[in-house]
Amino acid sequence: MNTFTMSEPCELRPIRFMELLEFDGWRIKVYGIAYGREEPRSELMAAARVLARRAFPRPACEDGRYGVGYLGVHDGRGSNFVFTDWWADENELHHHVFISPSDDPEALEEFTATGVSACIWDMKVMCFERDTWVKKVLRNPDGPDLQAYLETGLEGEY
């Protein structure tokens, strides 16, 4: 017996590389994902930038960190999701999740410890970033190229 029901059909959402955010030794690729619009609302983007400045550890390049990663800003249907990810120890991704009600973008709270990880759209960014890290850093025949990694972004409807 099928007890699974959906509140609405799963539609494509735009995923956009928004900017390269640089602060305190960090170089962070910023992605926007949006439900029912082309990109996240400006107030959510601003709240995510503020959050990034406190969520990424300091110093950027210590304890196996390289000072590079990405920030996902997902203006979702019922909630806003922001995830902070950074690379360390060659092949490890550190992932943290923050959520706020859709009507209060600045009320982002950390939910990492709850086990919430990513929705299917967030996972598209994570999969792309994983593949880019492998191609540009870990398996690059010319050696690790962090700049090439930072210059490669995801764009499209997924």
**Interatomic CA distance for residues 139 and 122, integer angstroms:** 24
Residues in the chain: 158
Would you state the pLDDT for residue 147? 98
Q: Are strands 65-75 and 26-34 parallel, antiparallel or unpaired?
A: parallel
In tens, the pLDDT along 19-75 reads 999 999 999 999 999 999 999 999 999 999 999 999 999 999 999 999 999 999 999
Torsion of CA 95, 101, 105, 111, to 10 degrees: -20
- pLDDT mean across residues, the chain: 97
Q: Give 123's contacts (C-beta < 8 A, 6+ positions apart).
A: none
Q: Tokens representing 58?
A: 């300091």
- The DSSP call for residue 146 is H
Distances in whole angstroms, Cα of residue 83 to Cα of each of 53, 55, 95, 98: 13, 10, 7, 6
Neighbours of 87 (CB within 10 A): 23
State pLDDT tens for residues 128-147. Answer: 999 999 999 999 999 999 99
Q: Per-domain residue ranges for the chain? A: 14-151
**113 pLDDT above the threshold of 80:** yes
Res 3: pLDDT? 84
Residues facing 14 on adjacent strands: 157
> Does the pLDDT value for residue 2 go beyond 80?
no
The one-letter amino acid at 14:
P
